A and B are shown apart, each in its own frame.
Chain A
């Protein structure tokens, strides 16, 4: 990236002053090395977002930002409906509410000794993963609407989980304001037998070991100790979310001019929050969030069943569930005034600080767990939102490492069977229906997550609490 256009405000905060059509500055959080690695397209996309109507504060890029479509991936932007603010389907993304959920197991790594293969096989058997897989649940039209309105709360009511799970989830497991009637029949058809499926690509389920504790006090509040065995699930709203995103993107791109919005890039397709189209999209997008929450809840249920068979002493309690691709209505204080804003996080995680009114009660004192996915061969991180972050990024942080090379490049460089064998030698068991998929997801195809989380911490967004390493990986 050409950093000469940026003004360095501190070691980890870089400002793109308003120019041209920009209504607010761009703010990039990164160290010098991460910034040098970022594509120039990130600056361009940050500037384009800053030009959208009703944007408040700044157009932000998180330390893992990379070239997305419309918004950068790792982009955060808040809009005020009273100032002509917009909602953007491209700013949410296709995989609505794609996110990460981490569970305690009540076991330590040693309890898994000798049972690794059995657990890997049982999880792979029970959890539908990969292209062409079907869920074990088929929803009737009425059940579909209940699921879209109820999210994880619907899933728990239907027997997929425990009431306690909901206390540890964003929105307490149910996104309010969802409108199943705003979701197209095609989107529902795409989801009919996809509940409880993991998906493919970068989605995964991992059994992990807590390899290091960085912040003992917060780790204790989160119930984490070194050598604890955890389970982390990364997936989203499946076909339903993808279909909602595709349809809204095309519709908003074609209607923007009619709302007087001049799009610098069609992929920024957006519509006023207060328009009928905007309200319809919000209703559908929130239903998509509920679909993702319900899906991760069903996967939690399937995971518990696998553990009950192989390691019956396990007790899988939810640590937390975060979403990456969302637009959420939140209260934030801007220049001393409380305002109701719609915050887009595209490939970015909420990272609410201790005491935040937007945080579930069970975690309000400690701050929000921020779950950062790494690769299947390296490590993931559990962080916590830092005090003061609301004023820095509307309470947001990075979401992962980001790719270092494309899927095609990765496939040329690695073979799936070699990746599986090498990881096995390091004590990591991988199960996947697609060796090509494993090659495309090889650990070396991703950037080092350490640099990203270190920058997020130095920038005051989220602080490292624990480092976790994979033991068993189910890839879609």
Chain B
């Protein structure tokens, strides 16, 4: 028996409440995209063996899972593809959940994806990555309950199918990687709380513009809401990242994509990944122009992604 898993990647569209005085803090908006992917195959084994990509991290994750569930048996994992690390595409959560889910299937461990995320230590700030793995589409999580510091599961509050005919043009400029792990936790600690008025703006933009636009497939309204939410969130992160976005290249590239016809644009998590949203037929041209724009300065990768509306693919091969 073998378990095959292919995960989506995650674009982060913004945080909701960086104040917390109503009892919840963070709360995130995210969307699942069809690539890059974590693709792995796992089978039962006498010894823990890992091959392919991200060998060391995968070994650590598998060890963690086997110990957490007291499994004496081991597992052999081949990581065929991985999502680039620390660029804002949610690689850590997808790999951790892929390892956990595959091992669980092999040994009949029954628990929810939320439970696996907690066991694998992926619930620090956000439930978005878990929801993306499980269901895909556009997701909103409830944020952390400030009265419950030991909270293990950050619940999903909204999940909508994301229009199949929309495309993200995703750019990863060749700049330093974004914050992760301890550096990220420290940055969150150092940030001044967002003013409640700013949080209110994000909330209203989410409920009265972004979410209805997804339901109604109105890309213009979606783009406007996204860009506004991104600018409010970005400005509140300025102290930690030195500006609205993670680098001046990111800022200029976002501006450029908007000028050449994107409906909305932003930065995923701490960057350096940025993205814009366009209709299917417009994506290729925007990709080519954005690539040329980046190549005229520091260079970088640019690709077109569509949404993943089903979450990770999990196949058990007998």
Q: Do A and B come from one complex?
A: no
Residues of B within 8 A of A (CB): none
Residues of A within 8 A of B (CB): none
